[in-house]
Amino acid sequence: MPFDPERDLERIATAPGVYLMRDAAGTIFYVGKAANLRVRLRQYFGATSDRRFFVSLLGRLLDDVEVILTSNEKEALILENELVKKHQPRFNVELKDDKSFLHLRIDDRVDWPRIDVVRRPRKDSAKYFGPYHSASKIRETLKLVERHFHLRNCDDLTFKNRSRPCLQHQIGRCPAPCVLPVDREAYLQGVRDVSLFLQGRRGELIEQLRAQMNAAAEALEFEVAARRRDQLMAIEGSLEKQQVIQGAAVDQDIIGLHRQGSHVEVALLTVRRGRMTGSRTFALAEQEVEDAEVLGSFLNLYYHAGNDVPDEVVVPLVPDAEAALAERLTELAGRRVLVRVPQRGTTRRLVEMAIKNAEQAFFQARRADAVTNAALVKLKNRLRLSNLPFRIECYDIALFQGESPVASRVVFEGGVPKRADYRHYKIRDVEGTDDFAMMREVLMRRLKRGLDEGDLPHLIVVDGGRGQLGVATAVLSDLGIDGLDVVGLAKSRVLDDGRADVGAPARSPERVFLPGRKDPVVLLSNTDELHVLTHLRDEAHRFANTFHRQVRDKKTLRSTLEDIPGVGPARAKALLKAFGSARRVAQASVAEIAAVPGFGEALAVEVKAKLG
């Protein structure tokens, strides 16, 4: 029985908790929290000032409301975050930043910790530092750490199986604890020093290093003193590159918001020990709630995602559930965390800087969107498509001398690659070198699934001319699919016009073949629409050829391995699984191969000899 406000609201408790809104299919489309569930839910019905899009649809969208009671508002905040991550309701805030940031990771629970680069922190009790907003910044940091603090950087498999020191030891950047006797306490002190450096506690580190340098000099340990001196100079040099923006040595995240309609951009400036260390921006679409609720939801999601919690979160306005949020951040950090709105002074100017960053990021994104959308409109008009091609899929076949045929699908959405939707296909049913039959098999598999799941693109591009286009249109006809645009893109070819001996040979233009049209459409060079199609086609080539090379190399390597006495299909498969590619197997040492289950030293020697 659908949810009836007049009948069902009185049954809901006037207590803190979380509510989940479901549609007739049982799908959760919104999760919210409240200090008083009945009062909050009543605000959705009758006369309301809530202008969010989904609120206007509740009359025909809402089928049921599930409530979960909590002891207080802080517990409701925590539960809301967990339920949003689990169910990903379409009308809740979705946290997407402007890029994928890098972190440095040190697991100091192992005997000989190493520094590692990772994309996203995990809940594994290791220490994470960052995020770093550019690859050059993290390379600069790693270079300084490797040169002056001498931690190992090899992976655990290499470390366990090494039999002699590597190049890093020979150039004086690693003490080689893998094979040489090393003072473990001295190594761990280096790990602690690196942690201080990466945390931004460089003043404290400088004091420690200066004391160690003086003590070593007094003990006539001049080599140790010289190393501490070099570390001091490197750290002080890195400090000179950073701008001091706060007198107090406090860790802060400075938040700025910029809104136009339902689109909100959030900027986050990272300040550590009074120094600006980085910035990030986040685009939040379809946010028709008040700024306080957007800000509260953003902070809840951001810090529950494992990001570093500073001493202070400085915001432009009071967020929703401020007290509960501050209490939860204090629990996450293990120390008191302050959420505050500055009214004047340096901190207020930082908030204004963050707001300007958010505004700049917003308009940069809008300009990029405008350029991309214009290209898609031009493409639609030039090729007379029935749909604006927001989602385009391109298919390509790759094979060599009739062996190991594969296909690729690359996807562009809004004119840019959506790599999460790229797919590889192994050809199952076609023998020989029939490209047309292979394309038919791949498109049949993709479009049948698309019909079943209600997931079809706006435009399909097949790599090839009129023949491949005919295959694609036949598949659409066989499956009864109407209204889906499809084109064939033929690459330019060298023209034999007798001028090859006077310079670069002339080439034909790129040609686009359309269903029902005899002559191809020629897109002008340097146009936006041609750029979209050629970028798409080149990406499909790259993706298909890379996969084909991997399949071919593994097939060749497996055949080579199985020729070695004692190595059958199972051991060959185990070796490929352990190293991932033919190149890495060939580069592996005897000790590393011997460490793979099923291989001993004698068999590893045979494998190494066979692979050269």
Identify the three-state secondary structure at position 95: coil
Q: Is the Cα dihedral 187, 189, 192, 194 positive or negative? A: negative
In a shared domain, residues 489 and 517:
yes
In a shared domain, residues 358 and 307:
yes
Q: What is the pLDDT of residues 240-254, one digit of tens each?
A: 444 444 545 678 899
* Structural domain range at position 420: 391-547
| Separation CA 591–CA 162 (nearest Å) | 7
Give the pLDDT band of residue 516 (cuts 50, 70, 90).
confident
Non-local (6+) Cβ contacts of 376 within 8 A are: 388, 389, 390, 414, 415, 532
In a shared domain, residues 290 and 330:
yes
In a shared domain, residues 419 and 543:
yes
What's the pLDDT at 476?
93
Q: What is the pLDDT of residues 403-412, one digit of tens each?
A: 668 888 999 9
Which of 40, 66, 87 terminates a domain? The answer is 87
Residue 441 lies in a domain: yes
Residue 185 lies in a domain: no
In a shared domain, residues 293 and 354:
yes
Which among 314, 317, 316, 357 has a CA at the least distance from the CA of 338?
A: 314
Which among 249, 290, 293, 267 has a CA at the least distance from the CA of 350?
A: 267
In a shared domain, residues 351 and 403:
no
Alpha carbon distances (Å) from 22 to 56, 90, 240:
15, 11, 55
Residue 344 lies in a domain: yes
Considering its fold, how many domains does the chain have in total? Answer: 4
In a shared domain, residues 578 and 528:
no
Residue 179 lies in a domain: no
CB of 418 within 8 A of CB of 412? yes
Q: What is the pLDDT of residues 441-484, one digit of tens each?
A: 999 999 998 888 778 899 999 988 889 999 999 999 999 988 89
Find how far residue 217's CA is from the centre of its chain.
48
Residue 145 lies in a domain: no
In a shared domain, residues 543 and 567:
no
**Does position 537 have pLDDT exceeding 70, yes or no?**
yes
CB of 291 within 8 A of CB of 259? yes
Residue 332: give its domain's CATH number: 3.30.420.10
In a shared domain, residues 275 and 352:
yes
What's the pLDDT at 254?
92
Identify the three-state secondary structure at position 532: helix
Alpha carbon distances (Å) from 422 to 127, 159, 458, 468:
33, 35, 16, 20
**Does position 102 have pLDDT exceeding 80, yes or no?**
no
In a shared domain, residues 409 and 476:
yes
Residue 514 lies in a domain: yes
CB of 24 within 8 A of CB of 43? no
Q: What is the pLDDT of residues 104-155, one digit of tens each?
A: 788 878 888 888 887 766 667 777 776 665 566 677 777 777 777 778 888 8
| Separation CA 261–CA 288 (nearest Å) | 8
Which of 345, 363, 381 terminates a domain? The answer is 363
Residue 569: give its domain's CATH number: 1.10.150.20
Residue 488: give its domain's CATH number: 3.30.420.340
Higher pLDDT, 314 or 146: 314
Average pLDDT of the segment spanning 169-189: 86
Residue 40: give its domain's CATH number: 3.40.1440.10
Residue 574 lies in a domain: yes
In this structure, which amino acid lies at residue 407?
A
What's the pLDDT at 368?
61
In a shared domain, residues 496 and 525:
yes
Residue 140 lies in a domain: no
Average pLDDT of the segment spanning 280-284: 84
In a shared domain, residues 297 and 359:
yes
Non-local (6+) Cβ contacts of 13 within 8 A are: 37, 38, 67, 69
